[in-house]
Structure 1
Amino acid sequence: MKTLKVALLGAGNVGSQVARILLEDSDVLAARTGARLELVGIAVRNVDAPREYAAPQALYTTDASALVRGADIVIELMGGLEPARTLILEAIEHGATVVTGNKALLAVDGPALYEKADAAGVQLSYEAAVAGAIPILRPITDSLAGDKITRVMGIVNGTTNFILDAMDSTGAEFSDALAEATRLGYAEADPTADIEGHDAAAKGAILASLAFHTRYALEDVHCEGITGVTATDIAAAKDAGYVIKLLAIAEKLDGGVSVRVHPTLLPREHPLGAVRGAFNAVFVEAESAGELMFYGRGAGGSPTASAVMGDVVSAARRLVLGGPGRTDSTIEVLPVLPIDAVSTQYYIHLDAADQPGVLSKISALFAENGVSIESMRQTVHREHTENEGPGSAELRIVTHRAGEAALAATVEAIKGLDVINSVTSVLRVEGV
């Protein structure tokens, strides 16, 4: 039986589990691939550091470059941009198949890496870069290859979903839900990449690239995080039958593709609305297949290692049977569209004076800017008194589908009204 040499770069939570599978399940993997997968080395910064799974000490090395040059398959799980980028390019140059879970690198330099792999005739696989254990990339590239995808909409960051779900179920403020996520290990010590939407944006760029056969990078993604979402927003959404989720959305529009990440109101009955805790889910809409849902654990050592090993087995089979490497298909060149090109529904939360004529003034501004109101709810918080003057009221408005530019102009005009105390929040609505 043919032997394929496998080099592993990184031995963190995911890397340790990959090493365990390669060593403990070697006979099963050989039967599935038709080749022995020999783990020839594990590149780490410190060979003596304690690890979740301890492979034989002789396998650990600090010379990643030498390890890469002698491998048939290179598994990159180091994370970050460097030295991961240099080592992947070195592996491609030496004809090795590369499997990576490095979403940050692919979002920034993916197009260049794909081109290098194409030119070298090697395979670059990255199922683990999006949504952990959920098999989503291969269904998009293989199962739906004969269809036309129109939209991909997903919860692809477990940390933010845990925080928003905790706020929804307990009424907690954002800071308290974040503290709980940190205590339980769902949030990093520095959660910026998660709560500001950068992690989801990186995954959104990858999903858009595969769904629409055009190479997109992180800079093409409109990104908004969840730090501005308040317990009041959550409660108001809940009262209206919605739930707030951080969504990565890639959709085909007239003239190009929109790729965006932002907090979004979803009907509670929508499949994505039911995704709880730190789970991930991706909702795909295609012309012939219709609506498809992929759900599962989006992070963690063992779940992500499962996705990595799926790529490794697929790559090993190709190396045994022969044939060119396959990365992604770039048969189209669809320009990325600015957020202003997007048309969706919106939820606007206002604090206004409770006096005659307020609703007519607000409605007039919506009409002037071509934005139609679907529903409006008013809650009076303080009645008019002689001593304190006009009372205050909370207005919750949901629009019909409208353009981003028209909505922005409407909100700016509303802010200028003397009867408006504040525009508390503006959120997009999807899935209606």
Structure 2
Amino acid sequence: MENFADVKYVLDGFLFVIMGALVMWMAAGFAMLEAGLTRSKNTATILTKNITLYALAGITYYFIGYNLMYGDGNALSGSIGPVVAESGGDYPTMADFFFQMVFVATAASVVSGTIAERMKLWPFIIFVFVLTSFIYPLQGHWTWGGSELGGLLEGFSDFAGSTIVHSVGGWAALAGVLLLGARKGKYSKDGSIKAIPGSNLPLATLGTFILWLGWFGFNGGSQLALGSKDDIDGIASVIASTNMAAAAGAITAMILTQLIYKRVDLTMVLNGALGGLVAVTAGPDLGMNVAFIDGIVGGILVVLAVPFFDKLRIDDPVGALSVHLVCGIWGTLAVGIFNPDVSILAQIKGIVVIGLFVFIASFIVWYILKITMGIRVSEEVEYEGLDVHECGLEAYPEFNKINR
């Protein structure tokens, strides 16, 4: 390395690769969390969905999504085509591609949890193809891609993706679950709500810790540079703030469930931590005190939003809408509240424009899938479990009543 520019190129590329690897590990966290918070008869299907969506995102974002998001084009669209490994820039192109790719996989993972236990496998995979190829990259082109949608989204700020990643996954999931409907037996005609406990809370807890760890790469890597003292100071501050928000969210959910239900609800504590993480993602560069507030409000919102969605008879087995959609909106608004350089109006405008686009586009795709190939399994398949019918195997065959 002959000069400082070479050193900076190496360090910036290293940041993308290492932080991207941490974010990739979040795929395991989503898989474990979803499997743990749902019933064992659907576990193999859930694991199949999660590894497939990650693999598919890697392919579609390479051939279509990355250049659509960051390529040349007008305010509505970028350029479609495979990534070209260019050299001579500020950082390796393929390092940037990898780091951005794991983000789109995260958005797809949000959808997986919301529609769990009653959706057919292949319609879900087709939707992931559309989401990762077009829906996510288009709204990303208007924001991180720099087009600002012809100036409509000028001034919108989202450091690492409370809206651009997490709420996008939430809006896409909400569109799907409205067409899909609730699991059988979840809501009765008399208005009562039946709790459907998860099969493995240790697994769900492990998944949460994996996500917590991966989030350091998610937010820390979004500093996008490692070539100076200011950069490493910024990364350290972002990671510390990310940890603070998660901790505040978990403790808040713990205290609140004790006050409301007279006992601590572990699932709420787990989602409280995740809600804090989602909330701080839009502004982890604003310091520890803001992160602390982000986490507290995120934890409160999760505890309140989960029963709220149940009252609306929107069945979300893992609480993904409460965590990613609701807390994503809060975190984006918080930037406008706590950052004097960002307008709250610009934040609201970004939330509304991106939310409407993703929800409407996703609803259209889900609806086409519903009327063509169907998106929901039969009542018999749902009762017996998706594993046998969708995958031909079970995650825990020794517990199968038929084989006893």
Same fold, judged at TM 0.5 (above): no
User: Scaled by the length of structure 2, what TM-score is found?
Assistant: 0.31
User: Scaled by the length of structure 1, what TM-score is found?
Assistant: 0.29
Bigger relative contact order (CA 8 A; separation at least 6): 2
Structure with greater helix share of residues: 2
